[in-house]
Each structure stands twice: as structure tokens, then as C-alpha cells.
Amino acid sequence: MGNVILIHGGVGSKGRVKENLDCILGKCKSDNPLESVVKSVVLLEDDPRFNAGTGSVIRIDGSIEMDAAVAIPGDFGAVINIKEVRNPVLVARDVMEKTPHIAIAGEGAVKFARRMGFENYNPETERTRENFIKMKEALLNAEEGDDRYAIMRKLIKEGIVEEPHDTVGAVARINGKFAAAVSTGGASPMMSGRVGDVPLIGAGIYCGEKGAVVATGIGEEIAKRLLCYRIYSRIGETKLSKILEEEIAYFNGKTAGAIAVSADEVASTSNGVMPTDQLEF
């Protein structure tokens, strides 16, 4: 099969950013699959309409903490709750390529980024600040239900916060090799220090000799099912699209989606609107 890059703008994003995906992939064509997925995610992080990098949501305490990860067969790198950088995915790549570690978190991640030459950057935008103010006011007046997601659903229904389209991601198969990359600003509302699926290998991202998978949706639910590894482990069992459909069906309405590539297939599935774009070359 030929080379392919597949990207997504997050499940639940109502398709409003689909046009932005169309102009990204042409800039990401490379003979190196890791270079292709990282460049794709960098461009998504730089677009303030996506919830990753610039435009990341603000947490309950007023901070912005971001997660990102990259993976190739046999290697992985992630940053967890990193602050004040423009492109977390580039720092994650440096963790993989320039350290003996697989993940660096919090202040340690920020210090590492500075040593690697990443400048101080505020990813907050006017839109995210306005949404933060609305979210804080609504939380003060919200009544907590028995369901742990009751407050989030109430805020979404009232239009105060957006659905948790918390991840942008990319997978690639180029010259028979695979790579994956993901980045997120999280899901609103969330506490400081919260970690979702993105920087957890096998949860929000997985890549091996059979293919590459990344996920999007409610990170806690994705992580509990190790969604990406479950999909990866089943590659070759049946059609890739069928595998994704069956795995997403387990979420019973809790927001989730995934994109994946194998040696001869490409697939994407979600239980909500998930803008995607694909480049074959």
C-alpha cells in the first residue's frame, strides 16, 4: 500500500474546523513518518480554534496545563501538564529522542523545554479566557449529581463549555513505517494536575510494527479501557474499520473516537462528529 497521513481535530468539534484540516496535510508530506505526524500536530497546535497548544482550555484554577505524546515502533515520548510552551508535541519528541525517559511532567517538563531552547509562551487566547470566566461562574451555581460527568454535561448543554474535543492527533504510514502524535489542552472543567489519556501509552496513543492508533474523547474513559492498545492488538483480526467501530461501541455514549493505520488500511470512527482529513501519496 502507498503512503498515508491521517489527522483529526477532535471528537465533538461539530465539524466547524474541518476546513482547517484541508490545508494542513499538504505541508506535512515527508519520507519520515514521525516528521509527518509531528508537523501535522504542530500546525494543529498553532491554530487557536483547536484545543491544543494555542487555544488550550483553562483549568479551574486559571492555569493552562497541556499534554502531548509521540510514538514510533519501540519508542515513545510524552510531556504531562506542561505549561508555557507553544508546541508541547515538539517537547514530547525531544523527550523520546534526547533523554532516556519516556515521560517528563509538570515543572520538570517546563525546565526540560527551556534547556532544549523552547521559549516562554502563553497559549491563552481571548476565547479561552471568556470561556474560563463563564465556566467558573457556572460551576459556582451548579448542583453536583450522582454521575461524575453531570456538571460537565450541564455546562455543555447550556453552551457554557464545549464538548470535550480534547485532542488533536495524527497517524502515518510512510515507506512501510508507522508513527503517531497527539496533543491536548484537556477537557473543561478540570482540576489542576488532571491527566487524561493523551500521554499514557496504550491509552491515547500506540504505535508498533502493525500500525498506529490515536484516540480522542473523554480521557478518563479512554484510559480505563486502554483504547489504543486494544485497537492495535486486534489489527489483522478483521477489517480495521470494524475493529474501531466495535471498540468505540463500548463507550455507551461517553464521547470517544479514534483514527488508525495498518499495513494496508486506514480507518476513523467516533460516536460524535470528528473532523478528519487524509493525504495519500
Give the Cβ contact number of residue 130 at 10 Å: 11
67/199 Cα distance (integer angstroms): 6
pLDDT of 1 > 90? The answer is no
Q: What is the pLDDT of residue 190?
A: 80
Mean pLDDT value across residues 259-280? 94
pLDDT tens sequence across 112-132: 999 999 999 999 999 888 888
Q: Which fold has domain 4-280?
A: Glutamine Phosphoribosylpyrophosphate, subunit 1, domain 1 (3.60.20)
- Reading the block at residue 110, the C-alpha cell is 517546563
Instruction: List, for residues 121-173, the tens digit of each pLDDT value.
Output: 999 999 888 888 877 776 666 666 555 556 666 666 666 555 545 589 999 99
Is the confidence at residue 91, as pLDDT, over 60? yes
Count the neighbouring beta carbons within 10 Å of the beta carbon of residue 67.
Answer: 33
d(CA 37, CA 264): 18
pLDDT (tens digit per residue) in 250-264: 998 788 999 999 999
Look at 47 and 38; give whichever has higher pLDDT: 38
Mean per-residue pLDDT, 44-48: 92
Encode pLDDT of 66-87 as tens digits: 999 999 999 999 999 999 999 9
For the stretch 220-241, what's the b/e string if a residue is b when 16 or more beta carbons lie within 10 angstroms of its beta carbon?
Answer: bbbbebbbbbbbbbbbeeeebe
Q: Is the pLDDT of residue 56 over 70?
A: yes
Domain boundaries, the chain: 4-280
Q: Which of 54, 128, 167, 255 is catalytic?
A: 167
Q: How buried is 87 (Cβ within 10 angstroms: 0-12 exposed, 13-18 middle, 19+ buried)?
A: buried
Q: Is the pLDDT of residue 273 over 80?
A: yes
Reply yes or no on whether the pLDDT at 19 is more than 80: no
- Is 167 an annotated catalytic residue? yes
Extended beta strands in 209-275, E state? 211-217, 256-262, 266-270
